[in-house]
């Protein structure tokens, strides 16, 4: 990356667009497709202006058919294109679930590497926008459970562009989940030039010695807030933003845990069977003798994502995260 | 017996009133949404009232329907109460789903309304199943699925039609072709001139009708119902219509021209039916206007009721997950409200 390159101050959703634009400019095999992604620029405007720039063949408005979109993308990917299908909301991916699990994830292995499936399935995910169920849920664990897929969840504009470019260049399929709550919540510096952020690498957002707090996506912000408030109260949190939840950055998780001996996982997914359980298992398997306290999960609940009035209780916030951290610290 | 006999004058007035009720409900919902009163997303049915009311009028009260994300009109047409619907839009406890469903998930067992649906294309298979249940139990009921032109591209819609056709089920598939799926025009989504040609693939009757004309819809559905109950299987009806508002409230609508909207607005299903009733001497202009005022009052009262209704308690989030709750939920449920009655905490999970 050249040091003289310009930076722009972008929101997370603008960084998505910028990442798509950058890769589409660099590689004519990259094709964006989905419902209303073309002329209308996508419901969240993540593909704004791409159709004007690259035309009908590169930015395809599809009929309303998720299974058809992803299935078509499999054939495209198998024969030389790099499709980037958009699912309007992650809750609308289920019609395509069969294609994702049965084919996207397994084509390489099933064909013993003769076929590959380089594609990026993008979808806004997560809560906080005052809409129930499909419009707000966090079901990343479904995809992390399926070997053959990579699952990426950025939390800053900078990471978003860099991870998206990595995902598009990745020889394997990537589920790219975008925390829609923070699509426009803040801006960050994003280089104009192309750059990559590696898939599978967590980042330490805050160094600390008392407790390791693992998080990702929209929960990164309230987690940082909780950590800063606790710092004033004398508790030194290490905050790790996982950025990729499959494959997990096991080294980052284990080495932070060995340093602090205490872990809290913050995510907005339902508690049972979420990625938080996987992180808990990793520290048990790899660093049991360093453990000072039970691993705490601050997460959503085992109910469908609730409506309005109940949403505030469902989503972890800084206060709840602090309580979870203190429980671990004071154990 | 049809739900509303629009061969009679009383029936005609009732059909007009239902359409007005829908218009007023959705106008109000749009305003409340713009004012930040109603959260989430609302998809308004304004312009399409003739389809919902015409179809539900021709059904018998015991018949089933499935609905869509644009479901307020279907609900009112099927006889649901505006005040409990409005409470649901507000996420209040007195709503049809106790405030858990919102605009896109209103359902009512008693009315045979199997649910609005946040998933495009998910209704038709449910209708096929409801029709199978009616057939199996020898009940004189049919199931009608409302779905959009966009939904016709979904695989599960075709699976549902194929099953119903193959098994000769008492089902009616009614496409509301409002010319767009979100911002994409119907001709960019389908290779068919008329979506009713879909019927040919399943060897069932298919018709395209004027969805702006309530009587055309009524007659088509009445015939389809007749076929269904005689054991002649499903019918596919395409009602040509138009939504006067954006796809959802807040939609900037870059994809269409004002002229087109006005052209369709001039065919407003409510105004045209009202003037037909006036011409036929069924009602006077004054009676039409006072009916409108009456309906607006009813909806204003429903909105006020909803505003003042209670929010659900946080613990209610865990209700109705299973017939018999599971340990994990029972554990949450006891702990989610602080003993001091203050702000709830959910950290003890
Ligand atoms: C499976 C699924 N994909 C996408 C969406 C997002 N979405 C909601 S409504 C809609 C368009 C529906 O078009 P149509 O079926 O014609 O119904 P209309 O809105 O015109 O009434 C889309 C794409 C969804 N709700 N479900
Ligand atoms: Mg439509």
Confidence tier at A132 by pLDDT (50, 70, 90)? confident
Q: Say if domain A203-329 classifies as CATH 3.40.50.920.
A: yes
Mean pLDDT of chain B: 93
In a domain, B320, yes or no: yes
**Mutation test residue for ligand 1: of B120, B147, B245, B247, the one with most atoms within 8 Å of CB:** B120
Protein residue with least CA distance to atom 12, ligand 1: B181
Residues of A forming the active site: 135
Determine how β-strand A296-298 pairs with β-strand B64-66: unpaired
Question: What is the nearest CA distance from B162 to chain A, expressed in angstroms?
Answer: 18
User: Whose atoms come closest to the Cα of B48: which ligand?
Assistant: 1
> Are B88 and B159 in the same domain?
yes
Are B345 and A67 within 8 A, CB to CB? no
| B331 CA to centre of own chain | 37
Looking up tokens 């907005």 gives A268
> Are B302 and B327 in the same domain?
no
| pLDDT at residue A224, as a whole number | 98
Cis geometry, peptide bond prior to residue A247 (ω within 30 degrees of 0):
yes
User: Where are chain A's structural domains?
Assistant: 7-191, 203-329
Confidence tier at B333 by pLDDT (50, 70, 90)? low
Protein residue with least CA distance to atom 13, ligand 1: B181
> Are B241 and B288 in the same domain?
yes
The CATH number of the structural domain formed by A7-191 is 3.40.50.970
| pLDDT at residue A196, as a whole number | 98
| pLDDT at residue B330, as a whole number | 66
| pLDDT at residue B126, as a whole number | 98
In a domain, B74, yes or no: yes
Cβ burial B13-22 (10 Å sphere, 16+ → b, else e): bbbbbbbbbb
Alpha carbons within 13 A on the beta-carbon side of A330: 8
pLDDT tens-digit series, residues B256-306: 999 999 999 999 999 999 999 999 999 999 999 999 999 999 999 999 999
> Are B177 and B321 in the same domain?
no
DSSP 8-state class, residue A185: S
> Are B80 and B190 in the same domain?
yes
> Are B100 and B242 in the same domain?
yes
Mean pLDDT of chain A: 96
What is the rounded CA–CA span in Å between residue A319 and residue B348?
13
Is residue B98 over pLDDT 80? yes
> Are B277 and B326 in the same domain?
no
Taken in order A26, A29, A33, A37, the sign of the CA dihedral is positive
**For residue A162, what are its two tokens?**
């860099």
**Helix then strand then coil, % of chain B, to nearest 5:** 50, 10, 45
Q: Of A91-105, A305-319, B114-128, B321-335, where does mean pLDDT reach its minimum?
A: B321-335
Name every chain A residue with its beta carbon within 8 A of the beta carbon of B176.
Answer: none
In a domain, B192, yes or no: yes
What is the rounded CA–CA span in Å between residue A233 and residue A236?
9
| pLDDT at residue B338, as a whole number | 35
Instruction: Inform me whether the C-beta atom of residue A95 falls under 8 Å from chain B C-beta atoms.
Output: yes
Is residue B342 over pLDDT 60? no
Using CB atoms, which residue from B91, B328, B345 is nearest to A308? B91
Question: What is the nearest CA distance from A129 to chain B, expressed in angstroms?
Answer: 7
In a domain, B282, yes or no: yes
In a domain, B4, yes or no: no
Q: What domain count does chain B have?
A: 2
CATH of the domain at B38: 3.40.50.970
| pLDDT at residue A1, as a whole number | 46
In a domain, B1, yes or no: no
Instruction: Inform me whether the C-beta atom of residue A43 falls under 8 Å from chain B C-beta atoms.
Output: yes
pLDDT tens-digit series, residues A280-316: 999 999 999 999 999 999 999 888 998 877 888 889 9
CB B164 within 8 A of CB B232: no
Using CB atoms, which residue from B90, B190, B347 is nearest to A324? B347
Return the SS3 of B82: helix
What is the rounded CA–CA span in Å between residue B349 and residue B336?
9
CB B208 within 8 A of CB B240: yes
In a domain, B2, yes or no: no
Is residue B336 over pLDDT 70? no
Does ipTM surpass 0.90 in this model? yes
Among residues A237, A155, A168, the alpha carbon closest in space to that of A202 is found at A155
Is residue B345 over pLDDT 70? no
> Are B325 and B260 in the same domain?
no
Residues with CB under 6 A from ligand 1: A 35, 64, 66, 88, 92, 95; B 68-70, 118-120, 148-151, 178, 180-182, 247
State the average pLDDT over residues B74-81: 98
Ligand 1 atom nearest to B177, measured from its CA: 16
The whole domain housing B332 covers: 313-349
Among residues A294, A296, A311, A270, the alpha carbon closest in space to that of A140 is found at A270
What is the rounded CA–CA span in Å between residue B280 and residue B258?
32
């Amino acid at each position: 990356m050249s040091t003289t390159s310009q930076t722009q101050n972008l929101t997370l959703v603008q960084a998505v667009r910028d990442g798509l634009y950058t890769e589409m400019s660099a590689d004519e095999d990259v094709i964006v497709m989905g419902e209303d992604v073309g002329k209308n620029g996508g419901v969240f405007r993540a593909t704004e202006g791409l159709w004007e720039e690259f035309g009908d063949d590169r930015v395809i408005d599809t009929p309303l058919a998720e299974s058809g979109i992803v299935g078509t993308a499999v054939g495209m990917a198998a024969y030389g294109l790099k499709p980037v299908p958009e699912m309007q909301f992650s809750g609308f991916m289920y019609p395509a679930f069969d294609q994702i699990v049965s084919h996207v994830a397994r084509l390489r292995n099933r064909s013993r590497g003769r076929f590959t499936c380089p594609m990026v399935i993008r979808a806004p995910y997560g809560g906080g926008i005052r809409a129930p169920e499909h419009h707000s849920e966090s079901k990343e664990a479904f995809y992390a459970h399926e070997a053959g897929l990579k699952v990426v969840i950025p939390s800053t504009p900078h990471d978003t562009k860099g991870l998206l470019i990595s995902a598009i260049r990745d020889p394997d399929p990537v589920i790219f989940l975008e925390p829609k709550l923070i699509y426009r919540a803040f801006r960050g510096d994003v280089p104009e030039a192309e750059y990559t952020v590696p898939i599978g690498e967590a980042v330490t957002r805050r160094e600390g010695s008392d407790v390791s707090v693992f998080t990702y996506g929209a929960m990164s912000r309230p987690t940082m807030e909780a950590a800063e408030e606790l710092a004033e109260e004398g508790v030194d949190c290490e905050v790790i933003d996982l950025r990729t939840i499959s494959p997990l950055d096991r080294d980052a998780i284990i080495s932070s845990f060995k340093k602090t001996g205490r872990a809290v996982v913050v995510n907005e997914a339902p508690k049972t069977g979420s990625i938080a359980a996987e992180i808990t298992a990793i520290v048990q398997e790899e660093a049991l003798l360093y453990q000072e306290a039970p691993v705490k999960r601050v997460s959503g609940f085992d109910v469908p994502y609730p409506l309005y009035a109940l949403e505030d209780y469902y989503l972890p916030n800084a206060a709840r995260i602090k309580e979870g951290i203190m429980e671990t610290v004071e154990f | 017996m049809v739900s509303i006999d629009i061969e009679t004058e009383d029936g005609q007035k009732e059909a007009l009133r239902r359409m007005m009720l829908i218009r007023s409900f959705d106008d109000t919902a749009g305003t409340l949404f713009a004012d930040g009163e109603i959260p989430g997303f609302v998809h308004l049915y304004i312009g399409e009232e003739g389809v919902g009311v015409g179809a539900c009028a021709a059904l018998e009260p015991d018949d089933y329907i499935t609905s869509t994300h644009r479901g307020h009109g279907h609900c009112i047409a099927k006889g649901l109460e505006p005040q409990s619907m409005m409470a649901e839009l507000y996420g209040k406890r007195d709503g049809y789903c106790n405030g858990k469903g919102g605009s896109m998930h209103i359902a009512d067992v008693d009315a045979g309304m199997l649910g609005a649906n946040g998933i495009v294309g998910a209704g038709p298979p449910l209708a096929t199943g409801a029709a199978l249940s009616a057939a199996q139990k020898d009940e004189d009921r049919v199931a009608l699925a409302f779905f959009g032109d966009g939904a016709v591209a979904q695989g599960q819609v075709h699976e549902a039609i194929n099953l119903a056709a193959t098994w000769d089920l008492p089902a009616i598939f009614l496409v509301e072709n409002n010319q767009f799926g979100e911002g994409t025009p119907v001709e960019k989504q389908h290779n068919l001139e008329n979506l009713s040609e879909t019927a040919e693939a399943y060897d069932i009757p298919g018709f395209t009708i004027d969805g702006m004309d309530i009587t055309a819809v009524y007659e088509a559905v009445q015939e389809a119902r007749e076929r269904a109950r005689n054991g002649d299987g499903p019918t596919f009806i395409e009602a040509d219509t138009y939504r006067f508002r954006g796809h959802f409230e807040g939609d900037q609508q870059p994809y269409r021209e004002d002229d087109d909207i006005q052209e369709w607005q001039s065919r407003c299903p409510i105004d045209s039916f009202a003037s037909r009733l006036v011409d036929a001497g069924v009602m006077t202009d004054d009676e039409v206007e006072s009916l409108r005022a009456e309906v607006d009052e009813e909806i204003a009262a429903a909105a006020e009721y909803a505003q003042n209704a209670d929010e659900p308690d946080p613990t209610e989030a865990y209700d109705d997950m299973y017939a018999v709750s599971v340990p994990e939920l029972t554990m949450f449920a006891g702990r989610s409200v602080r003993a001091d009655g203050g702000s709830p905490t959910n950290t003890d999970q």
